[in-house]
Amino acid sequence: MKNFDYLEPTTIAQACALLKQHGGEAKVFAGGSHLTILMKQGLYQPKALVNIKKIPELKGIKYDAKEGLTIGALVTHRELETSALVKEKFPVLCEAEKEVANIRVRNMGTVGGNLASGEPLTDLSQIFISLDGKAKITGSNGQRIIPVEELFVDFYTTSLGEDEILTQVVLPPLPARSAIEYIRFSSSSVVDKPSAGVAVRLTLETSSEAVQAARIVLGCVGATPVRARRAEGLIMGKKLTLALAEEAGGIASEECSPTSDLRGSEQYKRAIVGTLVKRTASKAYEQALGNA
């Protein structure tokens, strides 16, 4: 690993100023689980690391009935997994986190880093997108809030500017008659990165069993997580039967662009996506019917 300056700002403003000063030659450092590996491999050779772990505003998880769940960028995977508040409001996150990498990565790796790394083989992003999550971002020119979906541009590339920091993720409260399901599929050991991960969130109409809003988000099968918008359109306004869920799965499997690699061939991953969409959508629909 090449050496670098190690900077430890204590406010977001200081951190943004340091990033700006280095003009793209500095990297934001939090848990380091992604960054240190790429630096050891020589893929990243930043002149400076801006450690944001001493910035208190970036920590913690809180819930507000109006705004929803706010997750600070520095919250670790393990904190999310074991948080009683998260378990109460969005248990899907705790369940998903149990399968993220291993206990050591979950202890160090942060939610902010997970998103800001632009790593395509991940779980959180598709869940956040299905929940209409927002990313709060601060740069030297102020704050902006974007849908989590708009963070991702390409493999390991996000829409974050050189002097910007992802500060929080906000998940709005789940509407009534809604449910979310997430299933990840790993083709080798349980601690491997997923070969596909599908999140489905459904909201039903108040006076019928028809789907009023659908989010079908496919992860790990392309440069960025993607919403299967045609599959979403198919089930809108309808009752979700198993046949319809299967049809949606078939459409969704064509709405992603998986690459053949050690975690499965392109064809294999498309088949997995189809099955996962069918299963997650069916489970979410059943649950939503039960949620008043």
Binding footprint of other proteins on the chain (CB under 8 A): 1-6, 29, 32-33, 36-37, 39-40, 49, 51, 53, 78, 98, 101-105, 107-108, 189-191
- Indicate the residue among 101 and 213 with the shorter CB distance to other proteins: 101
* Strand partners for 203: 178, 213
CB of 288 to other proteins, least distance (A): 29
CB of 71 to other proteins, least distance (A): 19
CB of 262 to other proteins, least distance (A): 13
- Indicate the residue among 93 and 277 with the shorter CB distance to other proteins: 93
CA of residue 51 relative to chain centroid, distance: 22
CB of 13 to other proteins, least distance (A): 22
Q: Is-contact 273 249, C-beta < 8 A?
A: yes
- Indicate the residue among 40 and 239 with the shorter CB distance to other proteins: 40
Rounded CA separation 143/170 (Å):
14
Alpha helices in the chain (DSSP H): 12-22, 35-40, 77-82, 84-89, 91-97, 103-108, 111-116, 124-130, 229-235, 242-252, 266-290
- Indicate the residue among 99 and 181 with the shorter CB distance to other proteins: 99
User: In 10 A of CB 132, how many CB atoms?
Assistant: 18
Rounded CA separation 73/143 (Å):
15
- Indicate the residue among 141 and 188 with the shorter CB distance to other proteins: 188
CB of 3 to other proteins, least distance (A): 5
